[in-house]
Chains A and B, each alone.
Chain A
């Protein structure tokens, strides 16, 4: 008898549990933040997360149909590692069941997540990953920044027109898709501008995490180039420029958007003064009303000037939120379609219109380092 009562009680308990766990409507909309927070790219990842968090503080809710949802950020560290990145992305879509993924700093890491978000049909918005392959053949990956064929051309133009350079040497981070891609687009554009098939004297390689570049730089000395293009991770790049100065190389260094992190100046110190690179946004030339909202909020919260990728983090969040509102549904495909047709959305970094590949077509900004700060030089419109 006692046993029977026990079983009945147990059954009732289980039933109660099942009811409690039943299909209740989700109370929050989840944005997966897929960024490197440790490892070689941690500096860049942290900057983007700042922007996403700021946007989340200013715009914490999203309206789906006529219901207001709170937006919850689920942060996953991809550890600057391609394998870990795949795991982190898998966790976001499988376990956390996020509605959208934002990130990652570093094209290689975004590319590792590509097939995962595609299979799970969860839309991802890249913030500052510029390699064309991130969104190519992947209708679920978008981005709010320009891509490297444009960035490479901008820097080749700068080298050719502003520095009157005729011969260049390229130093690439061979294990980094971003660096290899950008180097190639620079080389193509530079050869075309100079009309010289041999305008690139040499392409030297290094690995992520290397610290000694003296051998490669001694080779550079031999070629006597007019300019050195060295896109790559910020710490390695800063060490390269520092060691180049120590070897007596006075040739100007050009780079890409990854250089704009505080660590670049912190590691390079005086050696990186005067280097020139392209990036996405300059605080000196706020473009839209959103730019002002972003700048005011950022300056008030952090008491410093934001990096371009922080503004992109802010924009990625807003584009995702806007798309969900327009979709009026949390259905994965409807969200995807809504993101894909984003047009003239006023983001902090300018008007955002996504083209058929899912890439934003935007102007580039050229910056330099002066007195230990990143300083705005020029804006280049898309060709």
Chain B
């Protein structure tokens, strides 16, 4: 393999990994606070992408305005979903709320098929984001450069919110012990809603970026990215925001390098991601950056 090909593979890997990282952050946020694996995350991701798509095509909004509208809409949608599907079960056994999450996921997928139709749609990608840049023989699209920037910016903002603000302190309190937090006059409902809002916002943002990079929408588009990013979050240590980013990049790099070095096995790429998950769970169940916790789902 020549050096320029290797560089091209590395660029591909980082661009895929940063997208995984972006979506994995949302997963890990919700888990970190509520100990809930939000299986509907991938479907909120799909919803975000569709709302932006209709914003651009039906209402002919400029792409950045469609992006903002979609993010705000999806954030509120996520808060609503939590109220309806998860809040009534907050004191039930963990497994009930997890099953409710799976149900919400199927519901959103079926509604997607009903409302948006089962046929895939092509996304009009803004020119600014689809320009090709060449560095010698290595080429990349502008969107692939923008995604990692946003991923790191969001990582910074989230770490700041969680560690430095009062809301963040309340979030950490809720994550440690809901009852104790309530006794300390923390408005648990507000904190949970806030967490879901941010998680859904991140999913929507990830969905829109995904649809700009791979300009195709269908109601089941969130399933595979949802699973992959869940794996990324677990590899990095679910609950840890930095871990999600690390896991996302690792998964992207491993997927691309597997195809690069073992091209004959390229059809088994997804299987490989799942094998990786099993290995990590066997060797280090808390993930790379995860803390040991007494309770796990």
Interface residues, chain A, CB within 8 Å of chain B?
A: 37-40, 42-43, 46, 174-175, 202, 204-207, 209-212, 214-216, 218-219, 221-222, 235, 238-239, 242, 245-248, 263, 265-269
Contact = CB atoms under 8 A, between A and B. Distances in A.
A74 to B, nearest CB: 19
B157 interface: no
B220 interface: yes
A216 B118 CA distance: 28
Given A205-B266, A269-B122, A222 B5 contact: yes
Contacts of A267: 120, 122-123, 215-216
A242 B214 CA distance: 9
Interface of B: 1-2, 5, 8-9, 12-13, 15-16, 113, 117-123, 132, 134, 137, 139-141, 210, 214-216, 218-220, 224, 255-260, 263-264, 266-267, 269-270
A207 B268 CA distance: 8
20 contacts: A38-B219, A42-B117, A206-B266, A207-B270, A212-B255, A215-B258, A216-B266, A218-B8, A218-B12, A222-B2, A238-B216, A239-B214, A239-B216, A246-B139, A248-B139, A267-B120, A267-B123, A267-B215, A268-B122, A269-B122
B123 to A, nearest CB: 8
B132 A248 contact: yes
B9 A218 contact: yes
A205 B216 CA distance: 20
Given A242-B215, A246-B141, A248-B139, A235 B120 contact: yes
Give 6 closest A-B pairs by Cβ, nearest first.
Answer: A38-B118, A266-B122, A215-B259, A174-B267, A205-B267, A214-B12
Given A40-B120, A246-B139, 10 more contacts: A39-B218, A207-B267, A215-B255, A215-B256, A215-B258, A218-B8, A221-B8, A246-B132, A246-B140, A263-B120
A259 to B, nearest CB: 14
A206 B267 contact: yes
B8 A210 contact: no
A203 to B, nearest CB: 8
A56 B269 CA distance: 44
Contacts of B117: 42
Nearest to A80: B118
B256 A214 contact: yes
Contacts of B267: 174-175, 205-207
Contacts of A222: 1-2, 5
Contacts of B15: 214
Contacts of A39: 118, 218, 220
Contacts of A218: 5, 8-9, 12, 260
B53 to A, nearest CB: 12
Contact of A38 (B113, B216, B224): B113
A263 B122 contact: yes
B266 A215 contact: yes
A211 B216 contact: yes
Contact of A221 (B5, B113, B218, B255): B5
A244 to B, nearest CB: 11
Nearest to B258: A215
A37 B118 contact: yes
Contacts of A268: 122
Given A42-B118, A174-B267, A216-B263, A209 B224 contact: yes
Contacts of A42: 117-120, 218
B266 A204 contact: yes
A236 to B, nearest CB: 9
Which of A38, A175, A205, A238 is most buried by chain B, counting CB atoms within 10 A of its CB?
A38
Contacts of A204: 263, 266
Nearest to A218: B8
